[in-house]
């Protein structure tokens, strides 16, 4: 069951529920704060929402990564596998690993998908994520864009 994050309260609830590790929820909090800053929002964290920009989506075991139509990635296009991500990053902290996948839908709207490593059970999906992350790490290292 995927989790959507639109407000800082959503992050806090995930942390309280202990559904994910402290390291992962801390990372999500940092990510949320980074988005708030990127959208140049000066108010309180509690007043900021991602509703009009696109939101953060945390995928969990059992989610069909090839059918994420509920968040705009249709089955007929292979869901996440058929998307053209703007950026893919493999994040490692405290012995844990997850992927961050940024998919831009329009100039004003995009989603950030977070996939803990144990969520990715499909070999083709694992290979695709690894290749995307490696490519983006190379581009980042050279300063080149796509």
State mean pLDDT over 84-97. 94
Q: What is the pLDDT of residue 136?
A: 83
Please give the model's pTM, rounded to 2 decimal places: 0.90
Q: Is the per-residue pLDDT at 144 higher than 80?
A: no
Taking all residues of the chain, what is their mean pLDDT, rounded to a whole number? 90
Q: What is the pLDDT of residue 59?
A: 95
Three-class secondary structure assignment of the chain: CCEEECCHHHHHHHHHHCCCCHHHHHHHHHHHHHHHHHCCCCCCHHHCCCCCCCCEEECCCCCCCCCEHHHCECHHHCHHHHCCCCEEEEEEECCEEEEEEEEECCCCCEEEEEEEHHHCCCHHHHHHHHHHHHHHHHHHHHCCCC
Q: What is the pLDDT of residue 146?
A: 45
Q: Is the per-residue pLDDT at 140 higher than 70?
A: no
Q: What is the pLDDT of residue 141?
A: 62
Residue that the structure tokens 């991602």 belong to: 50
Q: What does the domain layout of the chain look like in residue ranges?
A: 3-139
Q: What is the pLDDT of residue 44?
A: 79
Q: What is the pLDDT of residue 42?
A: 85
């Amino acid at each position: 069951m995927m989790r959507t994050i639109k407000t800082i309260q959503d992050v806090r609830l995930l942390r309280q529920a202990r559904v994910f590790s402290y390291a992962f929820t801390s990372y999500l909090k940092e990510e949320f704060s980074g988005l708030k800053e990127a959208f140049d929002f000066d108010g309180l964290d509690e007043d900021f929402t991602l509703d009009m920009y696109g939101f953060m989506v945390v995928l969990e075991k059992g989610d069909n990564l090839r059918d994420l139509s509920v968040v705009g990635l249709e089955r007929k296009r292979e869901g996440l596998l058929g998307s053209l991500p703007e950026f893919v990053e493999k994040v490692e902290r405290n012995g844990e690993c997850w992927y961050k996948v940024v998919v831009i839908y329009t100039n004003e709207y995009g989603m950030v998908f977070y996939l803990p490593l144990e969520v990715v059970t499909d070999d083709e999906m694992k290979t695709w994520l690894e290749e995307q992350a490696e490519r983006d790490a190379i581009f980042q290292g050279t300063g080149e864009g796509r």
